[in-house]
Amino acid sequence: MTAGQPFRTKSLTTKVTEEEYARLQELATAAGQSMGEWARTVLLAQVNSSQEIILAEVLIWSELSIPFIQEILSQFDIDSGSVPSAQHILSTDVNHAA
C-alpha cells in the first residue's frame, strides 16, 4: 500500500465451484499474485473499465446530439423570448431535424 492511500477495511466473498476455483487459482498464480490480490485487481479493473465505457458513451451521445439539438433550436425564434416548451421540442419531427 502506498503512503496516503486509505486502508482497505471492507471485504467481499463469493462461492464458486471446484472447477471455477481451480481456474481462478491458475490465473492468480500466472499473474504472480495471491488469489485475493488477483481478484481485487480484476474486480477494480472491471469497475474502472465500465466507468470509462460509460463516460465514452456519454461523450459520443453528446457529440451526436449537439447537431440535432442545434437543428431543433434553430426552428424557434429564441431571441424574441419565445422559448418552446420541452413538450413541444420533444414532439418536433425528428426526421425533419436530421
Q: What's the mean per-residue pLDDT of the chain?
A: 77
- Domain limits at 73? 18-97
Whether 2 has a pLDDT exceeding 50, the answer reads yes
Report the percentage of the chain scoring pLDDT > 70.
Answer: 68
Please check whether residue 57 lies inside any domain of the structure.
Answer: yes
Q: How far apart are the first and last CA of the chain?
A: 53
Strand locations in 2-89, DSSP E?
none
Please check whether residue 11 lies inside any domain of the structure.
Answer: no
Structurally, how many domains does the chain consist of?
1
Query: At residue 96, what is the residue type?
Result: H
Please check whether residue 71 lies inside any domain of the structure.
Answer: yes
Please check whether residue 8 lies inside any domain of the structure.
Answer: no
Q: What is the pTM of this model?
A: 0.49
When pLDDT is cut at 50, 70 and 90, the band that residue 98 belongs to is: very low
Tell me the per-residue pLDDT of 19-56, one tens digit each, with 9 for 90 and over.
Answer: 999 999 999 999 999 999 999 998 888 877 766 777 77
Please check whether residue 10 lies inside any domain of the structure.
Answer: no
Please check whether residue 7 lies inside any domain of the structure.
Answer: no
Please check whether residue 40 lies inside any domain of the structure.
Answer: yes
Residue 75 — left, alpha, or beta (φ > 0 → left; ψ -120 to 50 → alpha)? alpha
Of 76 and 26, the one with more pLDDT: 26
Please check whether residue 2 lies inside any domain of the structure.
Answer: no
